[in-house]
Homo-oligomer: A and B are copies of this chain.
Amino acid sequence: MATRFVDERNVDFLLYEVFDVESLTRFDYYSQHNRKMFEMVVKAAVKLSKNMLFPLFEEMDRKAPELAGGEVKVHPSVKKIIKEFADGGWLTSTVPLDQDGEQLPAMVADLCEFIFAAANYSANAYAGLIRGAAHLIESFGSKELYDTYIPNMRGGKWQGTMALTEPEAGSSLADVATTAEPAEGGHYLVKGQKVFISAGDHDAVENVVHLMLAKIPGGPAGVKGISLFVVPKYRPGADGLEPNDLATSGIYHKLGYRGCPIAQLSMGDKNDCHGWLVGEAHQGLKYMFQMMNEARIGVGMGATAMACGAYHAALEYTRTRTQGRRPGQKDPASPPVPIIEHADIKRMLLFQKCVVEGSLSLLTLCSKYVDMTHVLDDSQEKEKYHLLLEILTPVAKSYPSEAGVLAISQGLQCLGGSGFCDDYPLEQYYRDGRIHPIHEGTTGIQGMDLLGRKVMMQNGRAFGLFIAEVEQTVADAQKYQPIAGFAGELQAALDRLKNVTAHQAGVAQSNGPEAFLADAVLYLEYFGLVTIAWQWLLQGMAAQKASEKGAKKKDKNFYTGKIFAMRYFFAYELPKIDGIERRLMADDWPTVEMQPDFF
């Protein structure tokens, strides 16, 4: 079994050297904090992860949830884990002080979640869903809903979920068929089916609170008729909790991510499932997008975290496993070397390092943008960071998800046959990680979101802001001679991205929406590679700065590793845009013209 799942030094590097979290404390909103406190928080997250979450990583996979007697039974430790998250303040870390929260910067809180997820993704999923669902009620619900649900959720007694998907409405939420009829008493009567609901039912909590999409009969068709409801498993009544006619009709047997159940729900079999409207009618999808966007970035973080755990397990193995000799060493009597000395193994490890630390850098930057929307008063400045978040969300969800799967696979490959067997955790990471390109909007959906919506919105305003941010980094990095060449390469890639983007806009004009969106996933991949190259230039620059100041031996190795990873990314990963570009600039559409009967 591996013993390490995260590099704390890298967390510090991102917080203090790349993204300067301390600068946030100069703003009123975060002025009660300082670096010392951030360090304590991160240490506490590491401690909880090491002592409790990581030791359960494998066991929660092996003893997967079961549906018995109409209720989902999860691993007995889940109850303890949720309590620990609640007691430690981890369910309220970014909640404002006036709501009894910690009011921590998102940068710090999200990196703590990253540490939890690297130790045990499933364990962190329970907490993430509680946080997101509570935040949704806090943002758009009535005071009554707040008082009834939030203290119990944030206290770790009630689970939260996001209940969108239905048998006939997955990627296409326009087809949501669950109905909510207004009833006397201010509630609605809910009827329908939901599927693929993470933590949708389990016995480690007293109640499960679903943030559920449904349609009020008579409303507009499609997504414009979707409303958001709180639909609990048990509803609060005069004598405490009473059943709310919400049944768990099944759970899924999954490839991975087995520590957390995914349930099928049936509402209103007896016409007695009560739901409470959140905010205004027919505005449900808009509201839900707050939780969905948080969840999408959370998925990117989870994907990065799993790839991080896998990377450290592979590192550990390759440092100790001996096999073969260096090329050119012909003497079979010479001792075999640790396999981490083989260039091909270093190549696979550098790939993993680049994916993990490049993704984590992007996600931390996204967290910083969230923080900026909290600290700024100027609504135009706020809007800037909001737009940057909008355009980067599909990238921050998809790059880590897609590249994370490949990184874990390379980690498994480093272990050879042992990677395929359950004596080592790689096979579990391989199973677990495959969920990320699927949940919270598939990669296909993210591609359409990026190209069809985010890049084009407000006449490309978000895209322009993104370009400006990257160009600022290029300008900064050009001041450091040893990395100026990489800055030039990034600028060239960025110019090509602008060109490719303009070409896509032209396709939309002349060839219509189907051709325009046919290769949206490739555009997303292209965009992702440029974005992560940007993150590596940011990290390379920080490492270069620190090296120039003079660093201790151990830090020197760390910074040199960052420079090597940047070199690797620019030498091996960024060039992948060449082939994608050849495709994206082409003017024929085989995937559009292809007909089902030809398969």
Contacts and interface: CB of A to CB of B under 8 A. Distances in A.
Contacts of A593: 564
Given A561-B598, A577-B579, 12 more contacts: A168-B323, A172-B336, A254-B421, A343-B592, A346-B592, A347-B521, A349-B599, A417-B439, A419-B438, A557-B598, A571-B583, A575-B580
Given A171-B323, A349-B599, A598-B564, A343 B576 contact: no
Nearest to A328: B513
A422 to B, nearest CB: 5
A572 B568 contact: no
Nearest to A324: B172
Contacts of A136: none
Which bracket fits the contact residues of A? Answer: 35 or more
A517 interface: yes
B409 A405 contact: yes
Interface string A129-173: 000000000000000000000000000000000000100101110
Contact of A328 (B319, B512, B567): B512
A346 B254 contact: no
A365 interface: no
19 contacts: A222-B333, A254-B427, A255-B421, A319-B596, A328-B513, A340-B596, A341-B596, A343-B514, A343-B518, A345-B444, A346-B591, A353-B599, A419-B438, A420-B434, A420-B435, A430-B434, A560-B598, A564-B594, A571-B588
A503 to B, nearest CB: 15
Contacts of A577: 579
Contacts of A223: 332
A590 interface: yes
A595 B345 CA distance: 11
B344 A444 contact: yes
A73 interface: no
Of the candidates A196, A520, A571, A580, the one having the most CB atoms from chain B within 10 angstroms of its own CB is: A571
B576 A590 contact: no
Interface in A320-355: 322-328, 332-333, 336, 338, 340-347, 349-350, 353
A249 interface: no
Interface string A290-315: 00000000000000000000000001
A475 interface: no
A43 interface: no
A519 B567 CA distance: 15
B597 A557 contact: yes
Contacts of A438: 413, 416-417, 419-420
Interface string A170-204: 11101100000000000000000001100000000
